[in-house]
Structure 1
């Protein structure tokens, strides 16, 4: 693809101006607004984040920058099968809202993995979960920051190393100056920009094909829109069943167990606000998700009779959307610059928010327990978290550089998300919904699940695969099909040697499709042939089954824990089973965030939501004293949770 000099000047100018604006605007409050004085301010965003901004930020985190390129190319070359992953995303929101958030919200934790420490009284389980999150986040962030570099290098000539260094350097600056609030503001800017660009592309496609209805009819006639395809074959890359179930369990792991999402929930002031935000976010996600697919339908309608990749104008599937923008918006200088800037800024905003969460988890779950950091004040903790975030920014940049060189790293990192979602989700469900679960069962469940899912993941790489794409044609190509400035590119060394097909936010958009296993295939190849859409389901099931069995076999009286760490539904159900009644302790360290302010010596007289319910509605069945610890059994009533207004750090000393 060729660009004349003046068009490149316009594109570069618009690109630079947009990046400067989208970088400085979120940091405006750092210099002229309220400053972050404590760790809570940095982690939870000062409590000044609006519901609208939070909704758009969560939606952006749900879809990601790679979906902006991935969904249109997926529809163009594979069809709409992955569109049905929307069912799983939408189903996950109410589950997270009514199962996960009520448990988290009353505890006053900073890292979501602190909950596992409280529930199982085990640093081992906590570190296993947080370590899983850190490793998979770093691998996926490397792919995320690399995503826009291929398109930017191909279209406007920005060296991929320059893009990687730029994204990483700005991310480190955000980490040092902004915190969560700046990251969410960047998400809002990026989200609005992508919506406007998507609408512009749809309108241009409508004009090019001669009507809005053709955006739907042309892809439908060519077999691109195929919904409700129930094959019953677990080896098919994706059908309706695997799209829904696979994405449901993956989304539950992401929305309910990942620090970057839970951190956003806990930054809101009341549980009612969290619930309203999450449920209101469903139509937002549906609109944004479908918008990307409609963009793909529009692009396909324009190029239905002349595929740019088959014609030799692009080298990779994910270049179809940048090619469309360059081709059809050639009459508007600078539009391509805005498009590329949105890709750059999209990778930037995701990198910033995830680095913030990674630094918080690393401090809370690992470094804060070291003797060297015992007793440091809140301001010093904040500085350590920022320093950790800066290190992660450099690490992500290094992973991004390796993306273009090591093919094993790429495919393994993309599959890692699917493989690790199950163990992570399983241990949280075990903690919340299985009263008998203890630390031994949780640890064994996670370890066994990790071993088996990773074995299947890497074993699947040994099964022969083939690229399966829907048919395209170049029969309709003429001299007037593309704009006059479009020429066939010379394949660069980078594109010739990079193994990455950057197609989506989620790991299942690779360029190879696993074919159904032949009837004569034997063990273990038949296991390896299972679609990776089911990996999260398999991992969750293994963690729950192994964790429950080991817990039953190793149960002990010392496994008692505070009832607030268990979901009320699980408590109700547990009383229906015969056997000895489970004992629960009142843990004085579990306090909501309205108990104590880190900036003052005052202590609020307001009781926690659960304490008020116990005072007003609960009758104690048994009360006894054992070694100074109150042991109680209570009839549960689902708590009406009011968000504490200030922050309190809980840090258990128990260790296994």
Structure 2
């Protein structure tokens, strides 16, 4: 295969497609800014008035999951390490079931806006404050990576200024998120998930045409050792095995789907609990489709470049640039389609970042501002929520600079989720699953979980695992006609090393601690943080009188919550009372304070002005 030919470049139609995606996203935000503006409250802005249905929420959940980290990072992961990544399909099933059946019932029946309200109701305000601050730090860091990823692709594909693209991403997200609130976030996600799937499909279809069919792509992957689905090595130091993906991946993604405000805020915006659970299960189908597309793109990458790896041949400066390179290689004769792919990556970022900004605004208003401004009107809170959206949009843009130092996109993103999300998952699990857990145990357990996960996580950044732990598969350059990469017009202005970090310490003698503890698979960071938080929290709670506390069972997962799944098969011979199920069909406010709500209930069937 001749590698001396030049790959394509952006043309006018590519810019038109890309600009069209941005324009439609902005228009949706403008529409929801004016639809019902005169009566919008902070609840409308942050939770869509709790009137959403399952399908758009499910698509929104899938869209925010499929960020540019997925679009750029997952195909590269498959290209370098093989299709074992597809085992995450089993992980997603476990994550959705656990989120829908363990965490959702508790959050939904309480009718909370911020998941961290639960921590005050279950423990105390200090635990809530810790959870809120930790979540804000985690989300801003993760969002920085998500903003940086498509800006990198845009810079490499089109020559746009890298930091100009970073700022553009943040500004567009902040614009429609600030104007339209959660409804704008969800409906732009619905539009953007279509763009993302279209971007993936155009690459898969054209790659199949160029390589002579999907069967040839699969055969090439098989011959190159990329179809390595089953590795049952129980060693927790191996980067990806069946066990690290199933066990570690389940803990990592449950910390996102089960208790993370960005996701929880979407499904508790549904008009009833059935719709909320349904949104998660429909979302599972979306996750599977996304995974299949990303894995196929990775196999297509290998089939195309099996005898001449553009990274080793210095045609790209980092593996995360391989997908844009492939796009300009195989789609150069189709004006507009390279633009569709960049719109695909950009849509992933817009959906994830806008969800993060809206969630950050929600937890700040509900957890930090509202408790201190009890007399402020709902209209004022709505304006404050919009102001918070602008503030966090600016902060996320600033954090993108840090993301440029984090190493590989996918691993950096999942490492942050694991290191911070794991202890938070352990904290919520203490509250929901352990009746004797108390506030002392919760705080000490949380600190212990953070200590453990940060110890191994930061150690792995300073002393990355050796190749025998990460097991990268071989890449070839025997088919390259140009060994220096100078024969292309591919720009390599931005360095982003794959297996190293800007924090890495070089030229040190490796110790057993570095070769073992710091080589723990990054997917186990969350597992470690969760388990340490749970175990320490339970022990301290038992030692500090946790069994003696008088706890309302509505803060726990109960048998009734599990059996409620079968209510759909019961005869509808009675109407549920809002006094016994205050949020099941409306969810307009926090039932933890329903003694206040019920004072405003009159015979016409209204609660706080909301028709039943």
Q: TM-score, normalised by structure 1?
A: 0.80
Q: Per-residue deviation at 1:295?
A: 1.6
CA radius of gyration, larger in: 1
Separation (CA, whole Å) in 1 of partners of 2:322 and 2:464: 27
Q: Per-residue deviation at 1:394?
A: 0.7
Separation (CA, whole Å) in 2 of partners of 1:411 and 1:471: 19
> Aligned residue for 2:249?
247
**Cα-to-partner distance string for 1:147-194 (whole Å, 9 max, x where unaligned):** 111111111111012111111212221232111111111211221111
Separation (CA, whole Å) in 2 of partners of 1:115 and 1:541: 20
> 527, 530, 533: which one pairs with 1:543?
533
Separation (CA, whole Å) in 1 of partners of 2:366 and 2:129: 10
SS of match in other structure, 2:141: helix
Separation (CA, whole Å) in 1 of partners of 2:113 and 2:57: 18
> Aligned residue for 2:384?
384
The answer on whether the counterparts of 2:196 and 2:343 sit within 8 Å (CA) in structure 1 is: no
The answer to whether residue 265 in structure 2 is matched with residue 263 in structure 1 is: yes
> Aligned residue for 2:558?
568
Seen in structure 2, the aligned counterparts of structure 1 residues 536 and 645 have a Cα distance that, compared at 3 Å, is: closer
**Cα-to-partner distance string for 1:402-439 (whole Å, 9 max, x where unaligned):** 43368799998763321122211111111111111111
**Cα-to-partner distance string for 1:425-455 (whole Å, 9 max, x where unaligned):** 1111111111111111111110111112212
Separation (CA, whole Å) in 1 of partners of 2:60 and 2:280: 11
> Aligned residue for 1:619?
none
The answer on whether the counterparts of 1:265 and 1:274 sit within 8 Å (CA) in structure 2 is: yes
Q: Per-residue deviation at 1:61?
A: 2.4
**Cα-to-partner distance string for 1:462-502 (whole Å, 9 max, x where unaligned):** 435445532122333469xx9xx98143532xx14xx465x
> 141, 145, 148: which one pairs with 2:147?
145
After the TM superposition, which of the residue ranges 522-531 and 74-83 deviates more from structure 2?
522-531
Seen in structure 2, the aligned counterparts of structure 1 residues 385 and 76 have a Cα distance that, compared at 3 Å, is: same
Q: Per-residue deviation at 1:554?
A: 1.0
> Aligned residue for 1:644?
586
> Aligned residue for 1:400?
400
Q: Per-residue deviation at 1:83?
A: 2.4
The answer to whether residue 201 in structure 2 is matched with residue 199 in structure 1 is: yes
Separation (CA, whole Å) in 1 of partners of 2:409 and 2:490: 28
Separation (CA, whole Å) in 2 of partners of 1:361 and 1:649: 18
Corresponding residue pairs, total: 567
The answer on whether the counterparts of 1:445 and 1:547 sit within 8 Å (CA) in structure 2 is: yes
After the TM superposition, which of the residue ranges 242-251 and 300-309 deviates more from structure 2?
300-309
SS of match in other structure, 1:257: coil
For 1:52-131, list aligned pairs within 5 A.
Answer: 52-120=55-123, 122-131=124-133
Q: Per-residue deviation at 1:367?
A: 2.0
Seen in structure 2, the aligned counterparts of structure 1 residues 26 and 540 have a Cα distance that, compared at 3 Å, is: same
Separation (CA, whole Å) in 2 of partners of 1:97 and 1:556: 28
Stretches of structure 2 that go unaligned for 5 or more consecutive residues are 505-509, 563-574, 595-612
The answer on whether the counterparts of 2:203 and 2:297 sit within 8 Å (CA) in structure 1 is: yes
> Aligned residue for 2:422?
422
Q: Per-residue deviation at 1:543?
A: 1.1
The answer on whether the counterparts of 1:327 and 1:486 sit within 8 Å (CA) in structure 2 is: no
Seen in structure 2, the aligned counterparts of structure 1 residues 458 and 405 have a Cα distance that, compared at 3 Å, is: closer
The answer on whether the counterparts of 1:415 and 1:457 sit within 8 Å (CA) in structure 2 is: yes
> 519, 524, 532: which one pairs with 2:522?
532
The answer to whether residue 301 in structure 2 is matched with residue 305 in structure 1 is: no
Separation (CA, whole Å) in 2 of partners of 1:511 and 1:74: 17
Query: Relative to total residues, which structure has the larger helix share, 1 or 2?
Result: 2
Q: Per-residue deviation at 1:342?
A: 2.4
The answer on whether the counterparts of 1:404 and 1:500 sit within 8 Å (CA) in structure 2 is: no
Q: Per-residue deviation at 1:291?
A: 1.3
> 215, 218, 223: which one pairs with 1:221?
223
> Aligned residue for 2:323?
321
CA RMSD, aligned part only? 3.1
Seen in structure 2, the aligned counterparts of structure 1 residues 163 and 487 have a Cα distance that, compared at 3 Å, is: same
Separation (CA, whole Å) in 1 of partners of 2:39 and 2:348: 25
Separation (CA, whole Å) in 1 of partners of 2:456 and 2:277: 37
For 1:332-371, list aligned pairs within 5 A.
Answer: 332-370=334-372
> Aligned residue for 1:448?
448
> Aligned residue for 1:15?
18
Separation (CA, whole Å) in 2 of partners of 1:336 and 1:649: 50
